[in-house]
Amino acid sequence: SKNDSITLYIGLLDIKPSYVRGYLGQDTFSFGPEKQGIDVFTKLDGILDIRDLNMQLMLNNSAGLDAKATFKEIGSIDKEGNTVLLTSSILDNDLEVKRAQSPGNPYVKTYDFNANNSNVDEFIENLPVAISYSLDLGVNPYGNVSNHNDFVYSNNEIKASIVLDIPMNVEPKNLSMIDTFGVDFESFAEVENLEAVNLNLIVYNGYPCTSNVEFILLDEANMPIDTLFNNENVALPGLL
């Protein structure tokens, strides 16, 4: 009848655009404190004195908007949980991250950390198994400088990465490399009349220093049950 009515509410929910363009406004995003594991030094123990070390912080922006990064903390965490914070005049100020000029043409900026402008030697000689970080990222800090031509695709990102350049000019002190691997001893049960097993350990040493080798058998709980080699001086220095 004329007294009946229908009300329709039309809208869009949970939109996930693949591309946006225009002025995207100003905002600040905080990340961390978080940590990212690394495996470069996970098998090392001891003291490693590295000379002429260089570390790069690389900022990459594939989005069409400007940003500024404020690093509040970058830390090196060793196996025992000890942390060495990276200090440098580079981190005393905001790091500018310019916009990509076009899709597929990202902005890339590299900052070099060395013994002259940072404590990067101490940072890396801590033999980190993880890197901690905390930062603020300010988007469009200068306002609408693009005249409504900011752009972002769904696969665009602003990312930071660390690149290490470690020369072989190092002085190891009581340095050890540790690894653990599984052995299926149950397979020997299928061999009849087995009285003995020979274990051959072959070591190749290309470094100009003598190495000692320990070979320890562990149970299922990773507890030592026997030592086959103990401080055996079997790896003589390699020739340069």
pLDDT digits (tens, 9 = 90+) for 86-107: 999 999 999 999 999 988 899 9
Cβ pair 133, 36 in contact under 8 A: yes
- Predicted pLDDT of residue 131: 93
64 pLDDT band (50/70/90 cuts)? very high
pLDDT digits (tens, 9 = 90+) for 175-203: 666 777 777 766 666 666 667 777 777 77
**How far is residue 19's CA from residue 238's CA, in Å, rounded to a whole number?**
57
Strand 95-97 with 150-153, pairing: unpaired
Say if residue 239's pLDDT is above 90. Answer: no
**pTM of the model as a whole:** 0.67
User: 36-72: buried (b, 16+ CB within 10 Å) or exposed (e) per residue?
Assistant: eeeeebeebeeebebeebebebebbbbbbbbbbbebe
Say if residue 71's pLDDT is above 90. Answer: yes
The structure tokens 């990312």 sit at: 159
- DSSP β-bridge partners for residue 61: 107, 158
